[in-house]
Structure 1
Amino acid sequence: MKLRTLGSLSVEGVSFRRQKVRLLLAYLCAGGPQPRRRLADLFWPEAANPMNSLARHLVHLRTLPGAVRQDGSRVEAGAAVCCDVRELRQLAQGSHLEAATALYGGPFLDTLNIPVDIPLAADLEEWVYETRETLAREVRGLWLNLAVVAESGGSGSGARARRRPGNRPPTP
């Protein structure tokens, strides 16, 4: 199962009507394992019973085999979920710059219309915007590195020399 977060928010082959269920899955994929209490307080701070709200949303995710794992009081995205953000970062770390940039489909959760379609608590909304900015910077860095490689004629040594930590990025 593929979770798309770059440019849109969807789970391929699955139609969840509730965006918050998809957002919860995206949060677990991008943020790693989380305590149940933290998720409840982050997603439903105004609810009378945030833990119950979390439980109801996790029920929806459990309908997808392998989507979530629970270990005591911790929840994480299951191994069956392939998330485009994690894939992009793995490709970038493995120096597969072209494949990583090809995967980029637009800003993180770009189709999530905050606060019109889905009102979020301030902390969760801040997480969405911070993650969007961080990923945009990472992808910009990938594009700049690709430009350096292209400028050097594909020679890895010239490109590596310019990409060393502390060196200023090339002028686009």
Structure 2
Amino acid sequence: MYNGSMVTVILPGYSSKNKDWAMEAAREVKMDHEVRPILWDHWQDPDKKFDAKEKADDVVDILLDERVNIIAKSIGTLVASYMIEKITERIDKVVFCGIPLNGLTEDKKQDMRNALKSFPHDKIICFQNQEDPQGSFDAVKKFISEVSPDIKVVSKPREDHEYPYYPEFQVFLKNF
């Protein structure tokens, strides 16, 4: 087991309205260590390009040698996937919500599959709204089960891309 300090990072979706979600998640998820929202630079400077691999590298660099939990929403799930590939041994648990299957290329979907295959399946959970316009629960369940039927995918009764399930995130992260 890795013995660095611990942090939970919040990786939001692409749109600037996800800043509120990231800040709220950081406030609402109570851990015995720092919960750190990551704010994308293109929210302040629209000329900044968003590249999920580069964002993963940036977050890994910020973390130094810390152990990490990840809560990721939407495109943040792709950033988290690249982080899993880079620092698997330092990641404790991962919460995915709102995987944006409808907006991912086949290459990006394969990158996500590869990352998920390499990570302990009991250490990851996915929350997906039943009728999320970015990817329905049924589509995400099928996608995840192709990686492993052991990864838990939780259906939520919403028709949007909002994921305010902070108490459930916290329970998963705190349970052994």
| Higher fraction of strand | 2
**Bigger CA radius of gyration:** 1
Relative contact order, CA 8 A, sep 6+: which one is greater? 1
Instruction: State the TM-score, normalized to the length of structure 2.
Output: 0.28
Instruction: State the TM-score, normalized to the length of structure 1.
Output: 0.29
